[in-house]
Amino acid sequence: MPQAHYLTALQHYRNNQLEQAESVLQQALALQPNHADALHMLGVICYQTNRTSLAVQHIAKALKISPRNLDYLNNYGLALSADNQLDAAVKSFQQAILLQPKDLDVQLNLGNTLLTLNRYEEAAGYYRRVLRALPKQDDIRAALCHCLTSLGNEAQSIGNYTQAEACFQEALLFNAQDSVLYYNLGNAQRELGKSAEAAKQYQKATQLSPNDADAYNNLGNVQRELGQLDLAIESYKQALSINPALYHAKVHLAHQKQHICDWQGLQEDIAEIRHWVKNLPQAQISPFAFLAMPTTTAEEQKTCANNWVKNRYAALIKQGEQLNFTYLPNNNKKIRIGYLSADFRLHPLAFLVSEL
């Protein structure tokens, strides 16, 4: 009798008559409360009608009766995920995969849940598996690309440029028209000392996004590192034509014009940069480049250095203030001074400081 009710409910469900199906399932469960298929289907109907807590409860009861049922585990994971119980959903999908490692639906559901949890590397692994079987699924390609981009950004932020490079390169296999990916790949390769490769990525980025001033600026930076100063100057000019307020591009431009002895308009450029130092403390102006500019005063150079430190290291300065270190001098002892530098190596500073 309960099985007959279940089969009737199944027919209603297949005809998208969810209310009728639910009513018959309730009758079946009144006759046999431990009917696993009826509990499972009732949970699925609750999930599809946005009653996620009830869905979780019903399918959990079905799993107690039949804990190794693949469909139960997969739908339980979906219900848990919809109910925002994401860690529990991951465990349910993982149990399902142990039962059937090649089930693409479960792998895709697990990948989606891991993506929601920002567990990009794990999610990418499942998306890759699904794509090997379904290589033309655009939504899965987009999800994998998103994972790789996010993973690359994370790696970049902690200085793992090798991993960042690999992530952006793989992401470009799925979206070769994304200028941001080329830009980020160029940034990673520049940090790895691959200036020539980085230049190619920035050039591709500017082709896809001709109005990206930052891409032109960074292209100029790697061209400068490659000794292509004339090309670098043109890239900086292009960046400034797009965004005249890209202060560091103006500084690079003036500095490289000095290197090739191009004095045309240089005084005007330096005058504008001096104005920024005085009136726009948020402008990113390298103290070393500013120091090399004629007519700048010692007071301006100090202001430039202070602005640079505040812009670049505001968080560290704030942390130092919170630590509230105090120093109480002892007149009976000599003052001990420590020197901190990144250049105590084969560098001019190491030789110059030896007699300090």
For 296-313, what is each residue's pLDDT tens digit? 999 999 999 999 999 988
Asked if 85 and 93 touch (Cβ cutoff 8 Å), the reply is no
DSSP 8-class letter at 336: P
Q: Which amino acid is at 308?
A: W
- Tokens representing residue 156 in the block: 């970049």
Domains of the chain: 1-98 (1.25.40.10), 118-174 (no CATH)
Whole-number Å distance between alpha carbons of 14 and 21? 9
Which residue's structure tokens are 């979906």?
78
pLDDT value of residue 334 = 80
Whole-number Å distance between alpha carbons of 62 and 76? 10
Using pLDDT thresholds of 50, 70 and 90, give the confidence band for residue 11: confident
**Hey, how many other C-beta atoms are within 10 angstroms of the C-beta on 249?**
26
pLDDT value of residue 62 = 94
pLDDT value of residue 1 = 64
Using pLDDT thresholds of 50, 70 and 90, give the confidence band for residue 327: confident
194 pLDDT exceeds 70? yes
294 pLDDT exceeds 90? yes
As a whole-number percent, the residues of the chain with pLDDT over 90 amount to 76
- Tokens representing residue 260 in the block: 């090739």
22 pLDDT exceeds 90? no
pLDDT value of residue 2 = 74
332 pLDDT exceeds 80? no
Q: Please state the rounded mean pLDDT for residues 107-133.
A: 96
In b/e form, how buried is each residue of 38-61, taking b as 16+ CB within 10 angstroms? bbbbbbbbbbeeebbebbbbbbbb
Tell me the longest C-alpha to C-alpha distance in the chain.
99
pLDDT value of residue 10 = 79
Using pLDDT thresholds of 50, 70 and 90, give the confidence band for residue 349: confident
Mean pLDDT over all residues of the chain?
A: 93
| Collapsed DSSP state (helix, strand, coil) of residue 341 | coil
| Collapsed DSSP state (helix, strand, coil) of residue 331 | coil
Asked if 131 and 104 touch (Cβ cutoff 8 Å), the reply is no
DSSP string computed for 167-190? HHHHHHHH-TT-HHHHHHHHHHHH
Which one, of 40, 29, 23, 22, lies nearest residue 3 by Cα? 29
Q: Which residue has the higher pLDDT, 314 or 132?
A: 132
Using pLDDT thresholds of 50, 70 and 90, give the confidence band for residue 215: very high
